[in-house]
A and B are shown apart, each in its own frame.
Chain A
Amino acid sequence: MTAQYLSFGALALVTLWSAYKVVTARLITHAALWMALSFTSVSGIFLMLQQEFIAALQVLIYAGAITTMIIFAIMLSSIREIRVEPQEKRSIGQRIRASGLLAVVVGLVFAAFMTYVYYVSEIPKEAVPDAGLLTVRQVGATLFTRFTVPFEVASILLLLAMIGAIILTAKETE
């Protein structure tokens, strides 16, 4: 039992700290790398929840594909701002606004409120006992029977995204 609390605590700490660093990191590349760490520790929590398939996909899609894509976008877009982000002189009022105090409050209040709701609500707090593992086979079978249409729609969405990205970024050739 304690092992569970300990591992969850460690993973949660890493997740939150790296998410915090995504917001506050000065260099945008550092922010991207902190984001990869955050995704990785969330995948660790998925492993704790015994969802190996989703944990692997989390790493594959978020830590692998999306992080790499964002890194490429950084390299292609803000090449002048990579090393040092602009540091203008600011007045105190601007600094408070820039630190996003209001936004911090909004985020924290949201999180605290949600946690409070979960805490006081009547839902059972413990997992269903004797939970069988969901196999990839089951997920696949459900995906291709009950969710065939959403699956196809998702494929079309990906195809459209791919075509759109190519059209948007390809340089015009004479």
Chain B
Amino acid sequence: MSLADLWAQHWFRAFVTGSLVLVFALGNFYITLWLERKESAWIQNRLGPMRAGPQGLLQVLADLFKLLQKEDIVPRNVDRILFLIAPFIAHIPALLIFLVVPFGPNMVVADYDIGIIMIAAVTSYAVIATFIAGWGSNNKYSLLGAMRGAAQMISYEVTLVMSVIGVVMMAGSLKLSDIVLAQAERGVLGWYLFPQFIGFIVYLIASLAELNRAPFDLMEAESELVAGYHTEYSGFRFAIFLLVEYVHMIAWSAIAATLFLGGWVGPTPADIPVIGPKLFGWMTGPVWDNVWGFFWFLFKTYLLIFILIWIRWTFPRVRIDQLMDLGWKFLLPVSLFNIFLTGVMKYGWNVLAESGSPLRWIFWLWR
């Protein structure tokens, strides 16, 4: 389905699914923000927010209301229009990523042939949005932070795409739903996490850098740059930047879950050996498949979000030269090696699979 058809004929579907994606992003933003506060508290041996609602569940709401109440300050001498629209431009790539992510067997908004390229493409707007925010603020710290961020993001985008190429080679498709289906056929051990373990690690590190989260949060390094590109922002525009950061985090985790952890693939109660079919046999059919798919998808996504938050509160920030060295001199060669390895191993399996030679089990994981 091309976007052109969607426009011309299925505007209603586009409207509804788009709204659902927005709701999904906002709802998960809420949960992720709460999780971040609680998890950081656990790591630091605190309790975290406890007063607002059970386990502090309403704390995020209180925070957001506080931010919304604040005055929307526009400093003098800023580049007014750019300053005002920057948070909304930053919003675009974060949400567009969800268009191609399969939430369940039939739950995908726009199943492009070019899924992964599309993700790589829309992410480039994040760089431009950062630059607009930094430039519009007319503040040297903002501009420095933005230029640093831009350099960091474009450097790691290359690595990010390269780390995913291995998965594309194994699945033989750029379409995300095809990649999930290919993993479903291979069983749990066939999830690309195992044959593409190098790719997965590189992806995790690169997506952290792409997200500008600690230990790579150099563009808002508060000890050097005040707060980076959102120094001048306050009130709800700052809240939107916060929202963008978390939606991005959810998006990258969702993609990692889709590419490496099998996406929506997972057992249902009806798969329990003896009693399953009898007790839960009614839980089958297309609707229930989607429900369970969505459940597993969310489960895997939150597993990755948990890891990302864990990393943030464990490691100290790196220096800018260390960051660039890591990206260009280590991660990029490693991901290129991963592509090479995948090619060799896949070729080896293709050659040896028919022969029945015991050597073929070396290549089995890359079958």
Contact present between A and B (CB < 8 A): yes
Chain A positions within 8 Å of B151 at CB level = 72
Question: Given A72-B150, A133-B2, A136-B113, do A63 and B128 touch, yes or no (CB 8 Å)?
Answer: yes
Interface residues of A, count at CB 8 A: 27
Which of B54-62, B117-125, B190-198, B313-321 participates in binding chain A? B117-125
Q: Does B15 have its Cβ within 8 Å of any Cβ on chain A?
A: no
Contact check, B154 vs A68: say whether CB atoms are below 8 A apart.
Answer: yes
Q: Does B73 have its Cβ within 8 Å of any Cβ on chain A?
A: no
A56-67 CB contact bits vs B (8 Å, 1 = yes)?
Answer: 110110011101
Q: Which residue of A lies closest to B112 (CB)?
A: A52
| B150 CB contact (under 8 Å) in A56, A68, A133 | A68
In chain A, positions 1-55 with a C-beta closer than 8 Å to chain B are 3-4, 7, 29, 33, 36, 47-50, 52-53
Instruction: Give the CA-CA distance A135 to B122 in the complex, in Å.
Output: 20
In chain A, positions 64-116 with a C-beta closer than 8 Å to chain B are 64-65, 67-68, 71-72, 75
Contact check, A56 vs B147: say whether CB atoms are below 8 A apart.
Answer: no
| A57 CB contact (under 8 Å) in B4, B121, B122, B143 | B121
Residue from B128, B143, B147, B157 having most chain A Cβ neighbours under 10 A:
B128
Q: Does B351 have its Cβ within 8 Å of any Cβ on chain A?
A: no
Q: Does B132 have its Cβ within 8 Å of any Cβ on chain A?
A: yes
Contact check, B2 vs A65: say whether CB atoms are below 8 A apart.
Answer: no
Question: Given A48-B4, A50-B2, do A64 and B174 touch, yes or no (CB 8 Å)?
Answer: no
Instruction: Give the CA-CA distance A136 to B127 in the complex, in Å.
Output: 26
Q: Does B98 have its Cβ within 8 Å of any Cβ on chain A?
A: no
Chain A positions within 8 Å of B120 at CB level = 56, 60
CB distance from B15 to the nearest CB of A (A): 14
Contact check, B154 vs A67: say whether CB atoms are below 8 A apart.
Answer: no
Instruction: Give the CA-CA distance A2 to B257 in the complex, in Å.
Output: 41
| 10 A-B pairs with the lowest CB-CB distances in the bound complex, closest first | A64-B124, A59-B121, A60-B121, A56-B121, A56-B117, A47-B3, A3-B8, A56-B118, A50-B2, A56-B114
15 CB contacts below 8 A, A to B, read: A7-B8, A33-B132, A53-B117, A56-B118, A59-B121, A60-B121, A60-B124, A63-B125, A64-B121, A64-B127, A67-B128, A68-B131, A72-B151, A136-B113, A136-B174
Give B residues with C-beta under 8 Å from A.
2-4, 7-8, 82, 112-114, 117-118, 120-125, 127-128, 131-132, 135, 143, 147, 150-151, 154, 157, 174
Give A residues with C-beta under 8 Å from B.
3-4, 7, 29, 33, 36, 47-50, 52-53, 56-57, 59-60, 63-65, 67-68, 71-72, 75, 133, 135-136
